[in-house]
Amino acid sequence: MSDDKEKPGVVIDVTPEPEQPPPSDEPAPETQEPQQPPREQRGDAGSRLPLIIAVLSLLLVIAALVFAYLYTRQASEDLAAINASLSNSLAQQASLQEQLTKAERAVSEQAQRLLTQQQKLETQQEAVDSARDTFARQEQLLEREREHMQAREAELRASVADVHQRVGASGTQWMVAEAEYLARLANNRISLARDAGTARAALLLADQRLRDTGDPGWDSVRRQIARDLTRLDKTEMPDLVGISARLSSLAEQVPQLKLARATLGGATRSEREPKSEDDDRSQRSWDTLLDDLWDGFKQTVRIRRNDQPVQAMLPPEQQYFLYENLRLHVETARMALTRGDSKLFRESLNTIGAWLSAHFDPADKLTQVMRDSVRDLAKVDIFPPMPDISASLKALQIRQQLNADLARPLAAPSESEPADE
């Protein structure tokens, strides 16, 4: 029985041998088939080939797994870097959004302040209109007073002419009466119209009339007139017409001023032009994400210098109110000049100077010239105190009264002579 069992590793070939063909007279072909190796050798080669193929397949699978692992790891690292960059970009975008919200809030507050300023401007305009009406009424009153003074002057001239006719060409009383009229006219001009020039001319004429009398008794009055003339010469009267002309010139130059950082900045034309869709499709990728975010950041935020005080920014459509308000302050200064209100005049000029320094370009030549002009005008006293020149008129009246008292005893005997006869 042990012989009948197949031994391991031994292959029993039970294939019948092929029958050999009978010998033939034909010659054998030149090419003969190669002799096949024994079946045992062929069996060993056939069993090794699948093993080799399996080993090679296993190596290929291992290599593929290693490559897949390395590729997956590299992809995970790239994805983590992209996620970190995206998180940073989102954080920057949130910060930019917060800054934009603050800017919008600041613009809203500035608009509210401008609205309040506009309301104040309207109130000031109403006050200016009311002041103009008051000034017009005062002008009418002054005109009536001037007409009354002219009528009074005509009456006084008629009186002087009558006195001159009664006394005669050789008398001196009409000269004294004319000197009194001139002294009174000088006092009226200096107290009512603040006209120092006319008052000085009237006093000079009064002194000339007293000199023409040839009476040394009027020397004390002439000395008092000389003192009043000295007071008038010491009084410096401002050139109101010239100051008004300078203020008118400043009001005309207000629209030519340049604002300093008063408008909201924006992107340039090339930055505002949208990119074509073909360029976006061809260039948009993870590598260009940061460039796109940086371009968006530059279009959203404007970087300014912070080594100077931050000033409020005005939208272009609201700059009109700033110019009009400045012109209104100039007109207010002119109105105060006409009314002789030194306090309002100086406050308006100080406000103009502060606005020029706060809202307009300090490097602009026109701004510098206007600021210097306003500073010089603020130093001018448009309503200086007028000197008191009434002492000359009082001295003249006292001397006239004294002369009348001295002449009365002389006239009494002539009146009593007919009674004695």
Q: Which domain holds residue 357?
A: 238-274+312-383
Span 245-257, pLDDT tens digits = 888 888 898 888 8
Q: Distance (Å, rounded) from C-alpha 351 to C-alpha 357? A: 10
Bridge partners for 259 per DSSP: 360
Task: Please state the rounded mean pLDDT for residues 64-86.
Answer: 91
pLDDT above 90 for 284: no
Q: Distance (Å, rounded) from C-alpha 54 to C-alpha 50? A: 6
Q: What is the DSSP string of 81-132?
A: HHHHHHHHHHHHHHHHHHHHHHHHHHHHHHHHHHHHHHHHHHHHHHHHHHHH
pLDDT at residue 407 in the model: 65
The answer on 371 and 260 residing in a single domain is: yes
The answer on 264 and 146 residing in a single domain is: no
Task: Please state the rounded mean pLDDT for residues 143-163.
Answer: 83
The three-state secondary structure class of 3 is coil
Judged by phi (left if over 0) then psi (alpha if -120 to 50, else beta), residue 9 lies in left
5: Cβ contacts below 8 Å, ≥ 6 apart: none
pLDDT above 90 for 191: no
The answer on 144 and 200 residing in a single domain is: yes
The answer on 261 and 213 residing in a single domain is: no
Instruction: Report whether 232 contacts 202 (CB < 8 A).
Output: no
The answer on 354 and 258 residing in a single domain is: yes
- The answer to the question of residue 38 being in a domain is no
The answer on 331 and 209 residing in a single domain is: no
- Amino acid sitting at position 33: E
pLDDT above 90 for 62: yes
The answer on 366 and 245 residing in a single domain is: yes
- Amino acid sitting at position 267: A
For residue 132, what pLDDT band results from cuts at 50, 70 and 90?
Answer: confident
pLDDT at residue 12 in the model: 45
Task: Please state the rounded mean pLDDT for residues 20-42.
Answer: 50
Q: Is residue 338 classed exposed, middle or buried when 0-12, 13-18 and 19+ CB atoms within 10 A define those classes?
A: middle
The answer on 183 and 165 residing in a single domain is: yes
pLDDT above 60 for 121: yes
pLDDT at residue 91 in the model: 92
CA torsion angle for 210, 235, 197, 379 (degrees, to 10)? 180
Task: Please state the rounded mean pLDDT for residues 91-98.
Answer: 92
Cα within 13 Å of Cα(223), Cβ side: 6
Which of 170-179, 198-207, 272-281 is predicted most confidently? 198-207
Of the candidate ranges 39-48, 172-181, 263-272, 361-370, the one whose mean pLDDT is the lowest: 263-272
pLDDT above 70 for 281: no
- Mean pLDDT computed over every residue of the chain: 77
Span 299-355, pLDDT tens digits = 555 555 544 444 445 566 667 888 888 899 899 998 988 888 888 888 989 999 888
Q: What is the DSSP string of 126-168?
A: HHHHHHHHHHHHHHHHHHHHHHHHHHHHHHHHHHHHHHHHHH-
pLDDT at residue 419 in the model: 40
- The answer to the question of residue 341 being in a domain is yes
CA-closest candidate to residue 236, choices 19, 393, 384, 27: 384
The answer on 227 and 145 residing in a single domain is: yes
For residue 296, what pLDDT band results from cuts at 50, 70 and 90?
Answer: low
- The answer to the question of residue 150 being in a domain is yes
Span 382-397, pLDDT tens digits = 878 888 888 888 988 8
- The answer to the question of residue 26 being in a domain is no
Please give the tally of structural domains in the chain: 2
The answer on 348 and 334 residing in a single domain is: yes
Query: What φ, ψ does residue 49 adopt, rounded to 5°?
Result: -65, -45
Q: Distance (Å, rounded) from C-alpha 402 to C-alpha 394? A: 12
pLDDT at residue 167 in the model: 53
The answer on 323 and 207 residing in a single domain is: no
- Percent of the chain at pLDDT > 70 equals 69
Span 212-242, pLDDT tens digits = 888 888 889 999 999 999 988 888 778 888 8
What's the longest Cα–Cα distance across the chain? 227
- The answer to the question of residue 336 being in a domain is yes
The answer on 247 and 187 residing in a single domain is: no
